[in-house]
Chain A
Amino acid sequence: SSELTQDPAVSVALGQTVRITCQGDSLRSYSASWLQQKPGQAPLLVIYGKNNRPSGIPDRFSGSTSGNTASLTITGAQAEDEADYYCNSRDSSGSHPHVLFGGGTKLTVL
């Protein structure tokens, strides 16, 4: 079956822009969503669909997809953005549709 691949770790200087990517064949057919998880906390949805932010998520978070790669961009990263980020999408390969999560990217804000 398919999988979603993320870089294990990314760093960004405070106030700069960072892009976190997620690759997988399922992204050619299904949109990705992005989750932020801070230590000891449950995941929090930050981006879904084409490029939608839930209420309360700052507009410095944005999403895009090209081919089999989805990207989460943080424009002007803040200290509070330091967290693990996971992409996810549906996958219809194999005998039954199911959900995939990427392995996660640890974002460090320097």
Chain B
Amino acid sequence: QVQLQESGPGLVKPSGTLSLSCDVSGDSISSYNWWSWVRQPPGKGLEWIGEIYHTGSTSNNPSLKTRVSISVDKSKNHFSLELTSMTAADTAVYYCARVKRYYDSSGYVEYFQDWGQGTQVTVSS
């Protein structure tokens, strides 16, 4: 059974940088899966941040532009998120997730199969 666990500071100062890690157990970070970050501001819906494959290939939410950096550490079997220039609007619960992709008879299939429990990040001085 795959488990994902986010870790990082719960409080970040305005204009600072958020650094979060997601530890993966029960699966190899080098498996045929993508690894993603999603956030949820208080009382609001889910927002995709970005994703990474073990080769280092990444894709990010265009709305976050160059603020996002996602990396993978195969030796630790975890992946990480850095989000720069933090503001109050970045206050949210941050989730990491395992994403499966494949093709079947119906075409391309992609889904967020497993999620971490989430970690609250507050931006405040």
Contact = CB atoms under 8 A, between A and B. Distances in A.
Contacts of A33: 110-112
A95 B116 CA distance: 29
B112 A96 contact: no
Interface in A21-49: 30-31, 33, 35, 37, 42-45, 48-49
B25 interface: no
Interface string B83-109: 000000000000100000000101111
Which residue of B47, B59, B112 has the most chain A CB atoms within 10 A of its CB atom? B112
Contact of B112 (A43, A84, A94, A95): A43
A100 B45 contact: no
Contacts, number: 73
A100 B110 CA distance: 12
A14 interface: no
B30 to A, nearest CB: 22
Nearest to B95: A42
B112 A104 contact: no
B111 A100 contact: no
Contacts of B51: 99
A96 B59 contact: yes
Contact of A31 (B95, B109, B112): B109
Nearest to A104: B45
A88 B116 CA distance: 18
A49 B104 CA distance: 9
A31 B110 contact: yes
Interface in B33-48: 36, 38, 45-48
Interface in A68-110: 84, 86, 88-90, 94-104
B112 A42 contact: no
A101 B111 contact: no
Interface of A: 1, 30-31, 33, 35, 37, 42-45, 48-50, 54, 84, 86, 88-90, 94-104
Interface of B: 36, 38, 45-48, 51, 59-62, 95, 104, 106-113, 115-118
5 contacts: A31-B106, A45-B113, A48-B113, A99-B61, A102-B45
